[in-house]
Amino acid sequence: LHNSGLVADLPMLEDTGAVGVGLFRTELQFMIASRLPRLQEQVDLYSEAMRLAGDRPIVFRLLDIGGDKVVPYLRSMAEENPAMGYRSIRLGLDRPGLLRTQVRALLLAARGRPLKILVPMVTETFEFQQTKLVIRRELERLKRSGEPLPVQLELGAMVEVPSLLFELDQLLPEADFVSIGSNDLVQFLTAADRANPRVSASYDPIALPRLRAIKLVVDAARRYGVPITMCGELAGRPIEALALMSIGMTRLSMGPASIGPIKELVLNLELEPIKRSVAAAMSDGSEGVPIRGLLEDWVDRQNLPV
């Protein structure tokens, strides 16, 4: 699956052979504009994105503004810790006009097609429920005014705030799908700013504590029968992708340039022995086994193209 945010990326789906778009970052349209994109401008962009995706699924993530994603004309107070600040769905729920307009645009653009909407930066299940309510209300409104509707609507939550890891039994029954945002999840788990190179590379994202956190979500999603995707940058890096596959993650979304190399890896891979060895390394009492080293050994042993 692709990560994307610009329609210019989408014709590449043909070349990369990705099965769809796992993450369409809708805030990009807002970031490159000089004023708030109007309803119709949003509808046009989403329609075009869906047209280019063709029969492939495309997951639209609701605005993830704030943090490192600056939208200058949406003036907000200076924040000491913007990544943990007034951003994303927090802003969406606090300014429902903005959220409603975007939801309406998505629903209108998806007329006669299936629609998948992903909610970013969910910290508590309650926020996901509130967002679903906003979406259902917009849907009812359009239905009443006789607009053509999406043929199917699936609502997913991003798991990227650590607190949600301990609320999966509440979240998962509410979600049609979930997607792990490893960029934020790892940043918050390690308290290391993803945008600050002095600390962002200091902690291995697939070291045991982080991999355990991710596995918690993978296992819970399987128990609840909820489809799960990894849409953070981890999925596009070979050793990291191998780590994810070895804990049972089967849907990876990444930048278009990573699809070829990761496909090559998957096609040459014998995953079962790697799964067993990672499971042993993750089991209790085997603290200290470096997952990355272990996977690098497997890459050598199976002569994998990384």
Q: Report what 109 binds from Mg ion, ligand PEP, none; CB cut-off 5-8 Å by kind.
A: none
Instruction: Specify the stretch interacting with ligand PEP by CB under 6 A; choose among 52-60, 145-153, 178-186, 218-226.
Output: 178-186
In this structure, are residues 251 and 1 in contact, taking their beta carbons and an 8 Å threshold? yes
Cβ-based nearer residue to Mg ion, 16 or 88: 88
Using rule CB under 6 A, residue 231 touches ligand PEP: yes
Instruction: Specify the stretch interacting with ligand PEP by CB under 6 A; choose among 37-45, 79-87, 161-169, 176-184.
Output: 176-184
Using rule CB under 6 A, residue 205 touches ligand PEP: no
SS3 call for 65: coil
The number of angstroms, rounded, from the C-alpha of 110 to the middle of its chain's C-alpha atoms is 20
The phi, psi pair for 36, rounded to 5°, reads: -60, 120
Instruction: Specify the stretch interacting with ligand PEP by CB under 6 A; choose among 30-38, 129-137, 180-188, 220-228.
Output: 180-188
Cβ-based nearer residue to ligand PEP, 164 or 231: 231
Q: Report what 9 binds from Mg ion, ligand PEP, none; CB cut-off 5-8 Å by kind.
A: none
Using rule CB under 6 A, residue 37 touches ligand PEP: no
Q: Report what 182 binds from ligand PEP, Mg ion, none; CB cut-off 5-8 Å by kind.
A: ligand PEP
- 17 burial (CB, 10 Å; 0-12 / 13-18 / 19+) is exposed
Residue whose token pair is 């600040």: 85
Amino acid identity at 172: L
Q: Which of 29, 131, 182, 229 binds ligand PEP (CB under 6 A)?
A: 182
Using rule CB under 6 A, residue 64 touches ligand PEP: yes
Q: Which of 29, 131, 183, 246 binds ligand PEP (CB under 6 A)?
A: 183
Q: Report what 232 binds from Mg ion, ligand PEP, none; CB cut-off 5-8 Å by kind.
A: ligand PEP
Q: Which of 92, 181, 236, 256 binds ligand PEP (CB under 6 A)?
A: 181
3-state SS string for 235-295: HHCHHHHHHHHHCCCCCECECHHHHHHHHHHHHCCCHHHHHHHHHHHHCCCCCCCCHHHHH
The minimum distance between CB 24 and Mg ion, in angstroms, equals: 13
Angle at 249 between CA 125 and CA 206, to 5 degrees: 90
Using rule CB under 6 A, residue 138 touches ligand PEP: no
In angstroms, the CA 131 to CA 27 distance is 17
Q: Cβ neighbours of residue 175 under 8 Å, at least 6 residues apart? A: 128, 155, 156, 157, 226
Residues near ligand PEP (CB under 6 A) are: 23, 25, 64, 160, 181-184, 231-232
